[in-house]
Structures are given as structure tokens and as C-alpha cells.
Amino acid sequence: MTSGNEIIPAPRAVEGPTGCGVLLDDSTRLWAAPGTESTERWLRATLGAAHGLPLRPGPEEARDGVRLLVDDTLEPEAYRLSVITDRGVEIRGGDPAGVFWGAQTLRQLLGPEAFRRAPVRPRTRYGIPHQIIEDGPRFHWRGLLLDVARHFMPKDGVLRYLDLMAAHKLNVLHLHLTDDQGWRVEIERHPRLTEVGSWRSRTKFGHRASPLWDERPHGGFYTQDDIREIVAYAAERHITVVPEIDVPGHSQAAIAAYPELGNTDVVDTRALSVWDTWGINPNVLAPTDDTLRFYEDVFEEVLALFPSEFIHVGGDECPKEQWRDSPTAQARIEELGLAGEDGLQAWFIGHFDTWLAARGRRLIGWDEILEGGLADGAAVSSWRGYAGGIAAARAGHDVVMCPEQYVYLDHRQDGGAEEPVPIGYVRSLEDVYRFEPVPPGLTPEEAAHVLGTQANAWTEVMEDPARVDYQVFPRLAAFAEVAWSRLPAPERRDFAGFERRMEAHYERLDALGVGYRPPGGPKPWQKRPGVLGRPVEGAPPNR
């Protein structure tokens, strides 16, 4: 049994816990008001299964029952969880999502066994101390990016991560579906994108400078029904799935499938295959009308699959050498009166900005898309530090803060020699806990454009689900608290208190089967001796 003081992310206010509280057993009844159906289903399927509790329907006034209701006097996503002796458990949410987040807190109050899929001990009663928890999120966008393009994560793995996100009150899954190394979503009008583009013949093992190769073919993709299932499963957990289709860079897998998409007047695109190594690839999309029409086809099918307000178009790391050498690209620059190759990239992004807006959606892209100007409704993912977020907010654009130096979870967690494939700066659990999403120096009006924050799990050196778990956890727990809780300034945050609460949370992660990095360092099977990484020494620049 867990007290309200061990909840992660930390709730806004806790009264108690005191006394004996409420006992849940086979006789406990569950009453669900309109608007709480998804939480009702989740409680029976998840908490009910873990503890062997049927949670049968019952009247609102049932003694020691569980009651769910929407209360519009509370803020969106906020909740009040009341455990009242002789009355039962009540979860009020400002909206259906708030009720669901309250149920996630209830799960933590029931101890680590509540995170299992079936009962492990022959108990029949489960006690929760008398207490009242009032809570709500700081940010509307609390995201995790899963890069399923570099290393494919099968559908069941994505569903598992949606459950892990829900347990941490995260509500946006950013799926990075396309890149040079693989195309992961079925597009019916262009079947070669997955027939050819979804697999590569081998894979670089480690950093791109590593001499090691995994000679096995690697691939996989999600059918459109897989995507529908993922989106529906996420929606049941009040999580929005934001797809990313990368343009105009990071596109070799698409060009390998359809060579006419590339700069055919510069390179023999028919000789290209899906890329098997890492880094910034020179093979980018040709700025032709045919390319635009092709990707409009792609986005039309993507819009039908993903109901999200935002559609991510990438827009980062687009080398310009092929465009400089391409008569076709140069003719387009002259025809449109653009400011060189940078203007050409801005034109490419601007086309889809307008195209998406005409269909009631909003474009979001990495902060490079700022360089050519954006339509009013477009938003920015600020990854190159704070600067992109500051520029976007000051220009009146919404922004999601995900600076590489702070919340890129492929970066190593410790400076020790035993960290597997060490990449980038050391970003420890404490470093993530002290991350502040709102850039310094913004006015209140500008800061209001910060929709929230996102942690990004890039998978170049994460070759299997165990490696993803190791890089993501436990740091995602710290990130979730940063995204949800109203914490003090970074230097005044109680990291020692967070570590104490993590002692209980590690037991929950164990019950969930998460292969996190232990506080004392990697276990023998989590190491990758001899696999070259790219460590960067010193503290990351605060920019």
C-alpha cells in the first residue's frame, strides 16, 4: 500500500493519508457517470485483473464503492481523488481525461501488485488510507517521441509504451514513422514505400563510426489497421498520437522505393537502397510538382488514419548540396524567386503548411522550419536547445520544448565506461528532473505559446526493446514529473525527495517488466562492451 506522498508525478495537494480508509474486495461496486466510460473499462480490465476484483456495477451510494464522475468546475485534465472512510473512493475529473488520470493515481495507491496482469498473492481485500488528492497538469502537451524508423518497434511494443505513458500521465505519442533507414506506415496508393522502403539489408551496430555491423535484414511496418488499432488504444488512454512523415530530408527510404522522388539529374537514384547506417543523409527529395503530389497522396492517407490536430513534417537536417547541383532545383528557385536553397526548403515546408491548414490540421516541425517563415497556425518542436523555442514563441507560434541537450533519451545516463553505446552528453536522472521547459526570458504572453514538452527516444543505437527500456527509464519518470507537476525553479527542486519516491516507483516498474537502468549502473546484460558510441564531454550548452 502506497501513501499519497509516493505518487509520481507528484500531485498538487494531498490531505492525509490517515486512518484505515477504504477496503476494496469482491463486493466492491463501481459506479460510472456519463463521460467516464473509458476509465470504467480500464479499471475493470487493469486494476480488476491485477487484484482479481470484479468491480461489478453498483449504485452511486454503495458503501466502500468506487465512483467516477465528470465535474466541470475542475480544470481540463484535473482530478480530485477522495478516499473517505465509510464512504468509498470517488474520482472527479474536469473532463474524461481527468477522471482517467485520477485512476492512474488510484493504481499507485494500491501498491506495486496493481501493476501486474494477474493476482500474485491470495489476498481478497486491499486497503487504501483515508486521503484526498487534488491534482492537475502544468502542461497540455506531455509527450514521448518513439523513433520506430531507425529500429522498428512491432505493434505490441507500441501498445505497451502507450500503457507506460498512461501510467506516467503522459498524453502525446509522437511516432517518427519515416526516415532514411525505413518507412513504417502502409500507404495504399504507393505500396512500394513498404514493399521496398520498410526494410534494409543490414544495420550499423553502434555509432556511425563503429566498424561493427549486424548483417541481418531489419524491417517491419504498420498496416493501416495496425495504425487504427494504435490510435484507438491510445484514445482509450486519453493519449493523442501525432505522426511524423519526414520531408524534404531524411527521405532515402522513400527514394529507394520511388527513385523519381530524388534528384535524378544529380545522382542515379535507381542505385539507392534503404540506408543502413546513421547520420545526415545527402539524398533529399526533389522540389518538383510530382514530388508534392506524391506526398499529398501520402498525407491524405495519414490524415485519414490519425485524427490529431498536429501533423509533424520533420523539416530538419536537409543538406542542400544536391539542390545546388541540380538544374531542376535551380530552375525552381529562379521560377519562384526564392532566396537560394534555404528558401527552397522553406517553400517545400510552406506548401504542406498551407495544404494541412486547408484541411483543418496544423503543421508542426523541427525548429529549422522557422528559417523561412511560417503560417500563423504552424508550431515548432524546439530540439536544438532553447533558441528555437524562444524564436517561435516571440513570433507568435506555439512550441513544444524538446531540447537535445536535456531530454534526448538516447544520450547517456552516466559518464562511466560501462554505459552501453554512450551517446552525447551525460543526462542523469537528476539532470532530467531539473530540466525547465519554459525558456528563460520569455514574457508571460510569449510563455503562453509553450504548449508543453516532450522527451525523444531516437533509436539508432537502440537495437531492441530492452535497449529502449534502458534508455527511457527511469528518466521518463523524472520527465513526467517535470511535464505534469508545478515544480519550483530547477535549483530548488527536491531531487532527494524524488529519489525517495522512486524507491516505490522502481517496484512498480519491476511489476510492469520494464528493463530500466538501475541506480547503481547497468546489469551485465545491459552493457555493450566494445560497441563504439559518441560521448560528448562536459555540460551541455544552455542555449
How far apart, in Å, are the Cα atoms of 96 and each of 61, 237, 499?
Answer: 21, 10, 31
- Cell 509522437, located at residue: 174
Burial bucket for residue 532 (CB in 10 Å: 0-12, 13-18, 19+):
middle
Whether 204 contacts 44, CB under 8 Å = no
**Residues in contact with 241: Cβ distance below 8 Å, sequence separation at least 6, in sequence order:** 172, 173, 175, 230, 231, 234, 306, 308
Look up 317 and say whether it is catalytic.
Answer: yes
Whether 273 contacts 326, CB under 8 Å = no
Three-class secondary structure of residue 452 per DSSP: strand
- HEC sequence for 173-224: EEEECEECCEECECCCCCCHHHHCCCEECCEECCCCCCCCEECCCEECCECH
Catalytic residue among 134, 297, 317, 507: 317
Q: Tell me the H-state helices in 306-451.
A: 321-325, 327-336, 340-357, 387-394, 404-407, 429-433, 444-447
Report the amino acid identity of residue 354.
Answer: T
**Residues in contact with 165: Cβ distance below 8 Å, sequence separation at least 6, in sequence order:** 144, 171, 173, 237, 239
The Cβ of residue 116 has, within 10 Å, a number of other Cβ atoms equal to: 17
Look up 180 and say whether it is catalytic.
Answer: no
Catalytic residue among 238, 250, 397, 411: 250
Whether 392 contacts 382, CB under 8 Å = yes
Q: How far apart are CA 177 and CA 149, in angstroms?
A: 5
Whether 350 contacts 375, CB under 8 Å = yes
Return the C-alpha torsion angle 153, 156, 158, 164, nearest 10.
-130
Look up 37 and say whether it is catalytic.
Answer: no
Catalytic residue among 90, 147, 179, 463: 179
Residue 248: asked if its preceding bond is cis (omega within 30°), the reply is: yes
The set of catalytic residues is 179, 250, 317
